[in-house]
A and B are shown apart, each in its own frame.
Chain A
Amino acid sequence: MKQSTDIRVRTGPRYDQLYKDLRPYCGEAHAVFFLCFCLGVRTGRRAEEGVRRADRFWSGTITADEWACFYAMAVDQKHMEFGALDDDKVVVRIAETYADGGMEVLIDELLERFLAKGDTYKLDTSVCADLSWQLLKFIPDQLV
């Protein structure tokens, strides 16, 4: 559990613009990533491992609470084998699959109506005035 600072955390390349666009409503990339990871965990939606992903942010920006959740998932995946805590890269790679899965859920269930028309995922900022509220509200809605 070193909470390494030098790992490049990666996400699906098609979410590149969305991560940037969500900053004013959800904070830095690590916070968006964490929201998506938790959504992926909650819904059991997980993207494939080993597919090409684009560099998104350095692991140095991940908070201790976020790391705790990533470690918990890694341990859970390895059937409570604590050796999983020893390799931060593997921990991050597992988290990435859930984050990409969670992003799909987020788009399907919330962001769709905030997206600009086009082939890429991009927010239409003219309708996003209270997106932070919508995002926050989305969390308890998922718990029901």
Chain B
Amino acid sequence: MILEQITVENFRQFRGRQSLQFATGEPGKGKNVTVILGENGRGKTGLFRALMFCLYGDCSLAQDEDVKRGELRLVNTSALVDASQEGKPVHATVQVEFSHDGVHYDVERRVKALLHDGQPLEQVDKAELRYRDERGNTKLVDNPSEIARRLNGVLDRRVREYFLFDGEKIEHLTRSSAAQRIEVARGIRCLLDIDDMERALAALKKLRTFLGDELSRVSTGEYAQVVARLNELQKELDARTERLEEIDKELLLAEAEKKQLDDKLAENEGVAAQVAERKRLEAQRDELKGRAGELLDQMRDRVGPSAVLLATDLLERVYGTVEDKRQRGEIPTALRKDLIERILDDEVCICGRPVKPSVPDAFEAILEWKNKAVDEHIENSAMDLWRLLSGLLGRSDDIRVFLETTIQQYGNIRNSIETTRKSIEDINEQIGGSERADLSKLEAIRQGVEGRIVRVMAERLVVGGEIAERELEGGQRKARREQLERVEGQKTELAERVELALRTYEALDQVKQEFTGEVKTRLSHDASEVFGRLLDEEGRSMLRKIVVQDDYSLQVLDPWGKPFLANISAGQRQVASIAFILALASAAAGGEVLEMPLFMDTPFGKLSWQHRENLISQIPGAATQWVLLATDTELGRREASLLSRGGAWGKFHVLESQPDGSTRVREHSVSEALSLLRNSEEDS
């Protein structure tokens, strides 16, 4: 999809009819960057909303999930009020023109609104799609489901939100939360397009359960026991996996409910400041908990290897002894034991002299050699041990430093969490103890929701552990089943058939796992490559790789392959997420540039200058179109100058505030941008 133009009329902040053209040049060659500059509240996200409404009929975005149904209006409020004074309805219209695979599309969607008893009522009353076919004939489609089908073929609605990045959304991808896992998993599933395979697997799962029970029924002895336990484990695993999905949904809902309650509480001036402070503290606590969790993962993997310090005395003693022997030339000896034994057997030295008890000097000298000589493979083993111990002892200091810093770091985070928790509790008490009954009631409900979140998260940990336990046991039992099958050699015909069905499921599941795994590997590789290009120098020296993990969470590794996400800055988190999204887009296009616009809403806020510089120089070549929605504090002269020098900046629009509160889109030439923009913070 290449966006050409969007026209809005009485939509959100935009009063009257206004159009905005996008730069449509070829990536890497032409001008494909459009900058839309506007202060907060001027309608940057409103434009994306218009796009989603027009293309998909969406009256709300994912970010509106906690906004009450009916509270979100698409029609410009002042136009609605003016029209209602004349007793007329008002129409909000969005028209989008774009091309895709050489076909030109023109979509128009309209919503009709009127004021009824002071309440605005909105209803979509028109949807039309026009496209020019290969013969140049224009076709009209006005059936909503046919419009949806055609547009879905251009940009699948399930992946559409991956092409709008707002700062918050970007960061979600590197946070180890339920929302993050759902987000990344959804992106990957959409990318893989594995819905059909998942349906087939669900059907096979039912069949497998039924047939598994059958197999257990017809089998005997240990084999029957193993199969029965495997069936049981599978059922337990299925139940727990389902529960995990439910838990993630419950968490999302509870978080949304909590936010709603916070918004209601914040409407009351008496507690608004405390609610805002609590929100800040909770965000800080969650961030700290995230970092603590990542450190705990690192520490879990280091407990075993670090324990070697406890055996240092033993290792030094053995190493010292082997080293002494090595220094004295006792190992490796130059004496071949097998050669000496042959001399003694033959009673003749290699020089031809006799070696027998009757020639005591020579005989005793050879016997002494024999006592000193060691079997060659034992000598090799001793040398191997010497090398291994040398390496281990050489790493002791690194292990000590790691222990010292990590233990200290975690301890500090733990203390900060405790301090934050206490501050939150104080605020809870202040709000809960309010004299106003409605506020204390709201607060009590909120405490209930908070308690639910804590319980569900604890359950998530337990269920995750139970799954890991069952997977481990399942692997062991499967190995045993296969062993028994090999030993017993034969099965009944029924058992063979049942087994075949079971294997079909396993094979299909294996195909899915491998396919998903390959895509994860490829995504990790591509994202790491983009990450390396987008990072600043400091980041490049510390961060090496992005990994999409088994639970679809993202991890960043340091140059030594150790998890490092806990230690990276908010800006680096944003860069990691952008790298992942670009990799996802590239994978979806089979390694080419995906014919899809990238919308980035206020993406520069937390980024260092070098990160901004890298994004500005890399993205125009990596995306078909880049639509950058920014405030003037994010996009200053310095950024604009760099963007301009890159040669890809084609369109520049400013969202200007009007006296009636509405927004007017004004196009400027790119060359005018520098005079309109402020100096960046670093310049001023």
Taking Cβ atoms with an 8 Å cutoff, the residues of A that contact B are 1, 20, 23-27, 30-32, 34-35, 37-39, 41-42, 63-69, 71-73, 75-76, 80, 82-83, 85-86, 125-126, 130, 132-133, 135-137, 139-140, 142-143
Contact = CB atoms under 8 A, between A and B. Distances in A.
Interface in B361-377: 374, 377
Nearest to A39: B310
Contacts of B458: 126
B296 to A, nearest CB: 5
B385 A65 contact: no
Contacts of B302: 136
Contact of B310 (A73, A133, A139): A139
B307 A35 contact: yes
Contacts of A80: 318, 321-322
29 contacts: A1-B385, A23-B469, A24-B468, A26-B300, A26-B304, A27-B303, A31-B303, A31-B304, A42-B310, A65-B392, A67-B388, A68-B392, A69-B311, A71-B388, A72-B311, A72-B314, A73-B311, A73-B314, A80-B321, A80-B322, A86-B377, A125-B465, A133-B414, A135-B299, A136-B299, A136-B306, A136-B403, A137-B407, A140-B404
B416 to A, nearest CB: 14
A20 B470 CA distance: 11
Given A26-B304, A34-B304, A82-B374, A139 B403 contact: yes
Contact of B385 (A63, A85, A136): A85
Contacts of A135: 299, 303
Contacts of A24: 300, 465, 468
Contact of A1 (B304, B374, B384, B406): B384
B194 interface: no
Contacts of A31: 303-305
Contact of A39 (B307, B377, B410, B462): B307
A93 B210 CA distance: 44
Given A65-B388, A72-B389, A136-B403, A82 B311 contact: no
Contact of B300 (A20, A25, A83, A140): A25
Interface in B275-320: 292, 295-297, 299-311, 313-315, 317-319
B300 A27 contact: yes
B151 to A, nearest CB: 46
B381 interface: yes
A130 B465 contact: no
A68 B381 contact: no
Contacts of B300: 24-27, 132
A39 B308 CA distance: 9
B456 to A, nearest CB: 14
Given A72-B318, A73-B314, A80-B321, A130 B385 contact: no
B304 A83 contact: no
Chain B interface residue count: which class? 35 or more
Contacts of A34: 304, 307-308
Nearest to B410: A133
B495 interface: no
Given A125-B465, A133-B407, 7 more contacts: A31-B305, A35-B303, A39-B310, A42-B310, A67-B388, A72-B311, A135-B303
B141 interface: no
A35 B309 CA distance: 10
Contacts of A38: 307-311
Contacts of B400: 140
A85 B388 CA distance: 13
B392 to A, nearest CB: 6
Nearest to B400: A140
Q: Identify the 9 closest CB pairs spanning chains A and B, nearest first.
A: A31-B304, A68-B388, A38-B310, A42-B310, A85-B381, A38-B307, A1-B381, A132-B299, A72-B318
Interface of B: 292, 295-297, 299-311, 313-315, 317-319, 321-322, 331, 374, 377-379, 381-382, 384-385, 388-389, 392, 400, 403-404, 406-407, 410-411, 414, 458, 461-462, 465, 468-469, 472
B314 A82 contact: no
Contacts, number: 142
A35 B304 contact: yes
Interface of chain A: mostly helix, strand, loop or mixed: helix
A136 B302 CA distance: 8
A143 B468 CA distance: 33
A137 B306 CA distance: 10
A34 B662 CA distance: 69
B321 to A, nearest CB: 5
A75 B318 contact: yes
Contacts of A20: 469
A30 B309 CA distance: 17
A139 B304 CA distance: 10
Nearest to B295: A133
A140 B304 contact: no
A126 B461 CA distance: 10
Contact of A25 (B303, B305, B318, B385): B303
B210 to A, nearest CB: 30
A16 to B, nearest CB: 12
Contacts of B313: 42
B299 A133 contact: yes
Contacts of B296: 130, 132-133
Contacts of B378: 82-83, 85-86
B299 A23 contact: no
Nearest to A125: B462
A50 B382 CA distance: 27
Contacts of B309: 38, 139-140, 143
Contacts of A139: 303, 306-307, 309-310, 403
B317 A76 contact: yes
Contacts of A137: 407
A18 B489 CA distance: 37
Contact of B305 (A65, A76, A85, A140): A65
Contacts of A68: 315, 385, 388-389, 392
A86 B314 contact: no
Contacts of B462: 125
Contacts of B310: 38-39, 41-42, 139, 142-143
B421 to A, nearest CB: 13
A136 B388 contact: no
Nearest to B399: A139
A68 B4 CA distance: 66
Nearest to B292: A130
B388 A64 contact: yes
B311 A140 contact: no
A69 B385 CA distance: 9
A36 B619 CA distance: 52
Contacts of A64: 388
Contacts of B406: 136
A65 B411 CA distance: 28
A69 B308 contact: yes
A137 B408 CA distance: 9
Contacts of A143: 309-310
B382 A85 contact: yes
